[in-house]
């Protein structure tokens, strides 16, 4: 077994520029596998609405690799779900950390038994169980699970996390495993972006952001007033073709550091702040991850340091401003990129909003006929100008309300209320708020009817309306010839609001069927538990999120 011998971890000190990371104490963990570790994703990698909270460890393209406990501890939680982690095991260790193993195929027998008993007793596949300390204990090196591809995983691997047991902070596992993961390749930048502040800055004579590939940095860049800088970059490692997130970014101006970030740990509440840490608009429009090297006023992050000016630079002299990026991985491999911004005095048109303004540092309320939205203070990352518009479509039960022409992320949920214009069905559970993107509509979960209004919680300022769902899900049996052997599978579909619940009974007895969001498939979990040799009666029940139910009966 690969054993990671840890040196004492010393908190990194910067003379007047301290990155806000938690202090790491001296502990030791062994590897979760008995083979060399190769990563398909690292800690802090940029993901939709969150920072990647751990490692994705390659398992050679196959499932079923034995996973071992990294230190003495006890099972504190298990998850079984159709999406997300799929199957996940949480082990709390006696040294103050908790390890998490996601997308696993099977749990150890002791854990599997508890899960199965719970599923049968509560007639459910989904499980979220928390355990008393030391109910199920493991020693370092004990077998705890088999690696898999469950949940929202699109290739066999182990998702592996280390968390602070007290704060639940996600901790960079490379702090503990640096010695056994080879990496001599430095991060590489692809482009920079320059952001003039609205009404107070210009770049190359324009108030629009400027995207500059690294091979074009030698071309003249002029600016005047207040600007921010951003960078798109990836890290790389030995023996893989994957690209990874950047561990450390520093931006210097005329030799002085003006911005820094370092990925040692992320709190759960910080995860969604990735939408202010990166250029959300650029991601939605062009699928490009650009990291801002300046902080938005409503987006504090502990691992970012940008002083009181938030990393915003004021170009107010006609001279050359020398910028330099330094990007570094956790092994100390680094690259540097220098570029010059020429101060060129220019007229800057003041910012005069054409639409409704929302402000990050105050509560905002939008009230229009048939539309109400309250946004608490601190939910926005920055002030925004809305492109608000109302249109009609006879296929919907309310106007289509465009809050903004492209989504603006909110840090927490806000309640949206839309007025129901007509009621074609009596059952108010059939109505729901839908987000509209082009000609496509998407169900917004938790929609409720109240005094002629439909309410739902939203996390983006986009486009919304009211739709109705009266169509039950569909059930498609698969490979009926194999059913007598216990290999029973179905596909279940709901193209409107999605699957909420399902159950399968055979001869009147509940059986556990695993459900996958990736392929909408139901698969019998324990086929050997089926009594063979006789004809069996099976009933499949499926319900969608608007309460539409389908029941199908089969004899095999």
| 441 and 327 housed in the same domain | no
| 228 and 375 housed in the same domain | no
Confidence band, pLDDT 50/70/90 cuts, at residue 285: very high
Q: What is the dihedral of CA 389, 393, 396, 401, to 10 degrees?
A: 0
* CATH code of the domain covering residue 453: 2.60.220.30
Confidence band, pLDDT 50/70/90 cuts, at residue 439: confident
Q: Is residue 132, in this structure, part of any structural domain at all?
A: yes
Domain boundary among 343, 376, 405: 343
Q: Is residue 351, in this structure, part of any structural domain at all?
A: no
| 398 and 531 housed in the same domain | no
| 171 and 232 housed in the same domain | no
In the predicted model, what is the mean pLDDT of residues 74-96?
97
- CA–CA distances in Å: residue 51 to residues 154, 271, 338, 496: 18, 6, 27, 30
| 323 and 386 housed in the same domain | no
pLDDT (0 to 100) of residue 125: 96
Q: Is residue 512, in this structure, part of any structural domain at all?
A: yes
What average pLDDT is seen over the chain?
A: 93
Q: Is residue 3, in this structure, part of any structural domain at all?
A: no
The 3 state secondary structure assigned to 213-235 is EHHHCCCCCEEEEEEEEEEEEEE
- CA–CA distances in Å: residue 105 to residues 121, 164, 254, 295: 22, 25, 53, 41
pLDDT (0 to 100) of residue 27: 56
| 338 and 382 housed in the same domain | no
pLDDT (0 to 100) of residue 228: 98
| 244 and 289 housed in the same domain | yes
The dihedral through the CA atoms of 295, 297, 298, 301 has a sign that is: positive
Q: Is residue 58, in this structure, part of any structural domain at all?
A: yes
| 382 and 322 housed in the same domain | no
The residue behind tokens 């005095």 is: 345
Supply the pTM of this predicted model. Answer: 0.90
Q: Is residue 256, in this structure, part of any structural domain at all?
A: yes
CB contact at 8 A, 453 and 411 = no
More confident residue, 533 or 182: 182
In the predicted model, what is the mean pLDDT of residues 166-170?
97
Strand partners, 93: 73
3-class SS at 452? coil
pLDDT (0 to 100) of residue 46: 97
Q: Is residue 15, in this structure, part of any structural domain at all?
A: no
| 273 and 152 housed in the same domain | no
What phi, psi does 114 have (nearest 5°)?
-65, -40
Structural tokens at position 528:
């050997």
| 192 and 329 housed in the same domain | yes
Q: Is residue 25, in this structure, part of any structural domain at all?
A: no
Instruction: Give the total number of structural domains in the chain.
Output: 4
Lowest mean pLDDT among 114-123, 394-403, 531-540: 531-540
pLDDT (0 to 100) of residue 93: 97
pLDDT in tens, 5-41: 333 222 322 223 333 334 444 457 999 999 999 999 9
pLDDT in tens, 510-519: 999 999 999 9
In the predicted model, what is the mean pLDDT of residues 408-430?
95
| 297 and 265 housed in the same domain | yes
In the predicted model, what is the mean pLDDT of residues 523-539?
84
| 459 and 487 housed in the same domain | no
Question: Given the DSSP bridges, would you call strands 222-234 and 334-343 parallel, antiparallel or unpaired?
Answer: parallel
Domain boundary among 122, 150, 180: 180
In terms of residue numbers, what domain contains 141?
39-180
In the predicted model, what is the mean pLDDT of residues 311-316?
97
Domain boundary among 468, 488, 508: 468
pLDDT (0 to 100) of residue 94: 95
Taken as a whole, the chain contains a residue count of 556
Q: In terms of Cα–Cα distance, which of 254, 67, 87 is closest to 142?
A: 67
In the predicted model, what is the mean pLDDT of residues 183-193?
97
In the predicted model, what is the mean pLDDT of residues 135-146?
98
- Separation between Cα atoms, residue 380 and residue 416, nearest integer Å: 15
Q: Within a 13 Å sphere around the CA of 100, how many CA atoms are in the beta-carbon half?
A: 25
Please check the confidence at residue 3 and state whether its pLDDT lies above 60: no
């Amino acid at each position: 077994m690969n054993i990671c011998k840890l040196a004492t971890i010393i908190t990194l000190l910067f003379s007047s520029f301290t990155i806000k990371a938690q202090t790491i104490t001296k502990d030791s963990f062994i590897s979760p596998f008995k083979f060399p570790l190769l990563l398909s994703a690292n800690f802090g990698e940029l993901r939709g609405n969150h920072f990647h909270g751990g490692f994705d460890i390659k398992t050679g393209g196959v499932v079923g690799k034995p996973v071992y406990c990294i230190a003495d501890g006890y099972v504190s939680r298990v998850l079984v779900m159709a999406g997300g982690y799929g199957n996940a095991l949480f082990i709390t260790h006696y040294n103050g950390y908790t390890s998490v193993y996601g997308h696993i195929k099977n749990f150890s027998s002791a854990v599997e038994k508890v899960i199965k008993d719970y599923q049968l007793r509560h007639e459910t596949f989904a499980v979220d169980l928390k355990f008393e300390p030391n109910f199920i204990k493991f020693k370092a090196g004990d077998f705890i699970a088999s690696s898999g591809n469950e949940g929202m995983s699109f290739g066999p691997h182990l998702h592996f996390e280390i968390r602070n047991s007290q704060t639940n902070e996600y901790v960079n596992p490379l702090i503990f495993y640096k010695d056994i993961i080879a990496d001599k390749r430095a991060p590489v930048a692809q482009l920079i972006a320059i952001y003039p502040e609205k009404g107070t800055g210009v770049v190359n004579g324009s108030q629009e952001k400027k995207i500059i590939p690294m091979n074009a940095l030698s071309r003249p860049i002029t600016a005047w007033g207040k600007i921010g800088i951003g960078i798109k970059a990836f890290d790389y490692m030995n023996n893989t073709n994957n690209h990874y997130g950047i561990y450390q970014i520093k931006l210097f101006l005329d030799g002085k550091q003006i911005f820094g970030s370092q990925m040692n740990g992320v709190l759960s509440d910080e995860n969604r702040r990735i939408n202010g840490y990166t250029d959300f608009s650029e991601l939605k429009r062009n699928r490009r991850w650009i990291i801002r090297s300046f902080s938005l006023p409503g987006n504090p992050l502990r691992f970012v340091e940008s002083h009181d000016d938030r990393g915003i630079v004021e170009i107010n002299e006609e001279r050359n401003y020398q910028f330099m990026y330094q990007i570094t991985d956790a092994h100390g491999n680094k690259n540097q990129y220098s570029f010059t911004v020429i101060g060129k005095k220019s007229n800057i048109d003041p910012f005069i909003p054409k639409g409704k303004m929302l402000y990050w540092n105050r509560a905002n309320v939008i009230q229009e006929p048939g539309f109400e939205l309250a946004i608490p203070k601190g939910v926005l990352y920055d002030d925004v100008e809305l492109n608000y518009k109302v249109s009609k479509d006879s296929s919907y039960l309310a106007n289509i309300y465009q809050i903004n022409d492209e989504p603006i992320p909110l840090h927490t949920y806000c309640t949206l209320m839309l007025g129901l214009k007509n009621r074609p069905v009596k059952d108010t559970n059939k109505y729901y708020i839908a987000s509209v993107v082009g000609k496509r509509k998407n169900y917004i979960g938790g929609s409720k009817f109240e005094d002629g209004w439909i309410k739902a919680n939203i996390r983006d300022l986009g486009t919304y309306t009211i739709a109705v769902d009266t169509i039950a899900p569909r059930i498609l049996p698969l490979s009926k010839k194999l059913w007598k052997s216990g290999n029973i599978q179905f596909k279940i579909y709901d193209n409107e609001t999605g699957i909420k619940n399902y159950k399968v009974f055979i001869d009147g007895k509940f059986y556990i069927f695993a459900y996958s969001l990736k392929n909408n498939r139901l698969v019998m979990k324990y086929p050997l538990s089926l009594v063979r040799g006789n004809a069996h009666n099976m009933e499949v029940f499926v319900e969608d999120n608007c309460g539409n139910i389908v029941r199908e009966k089969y004899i095999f």
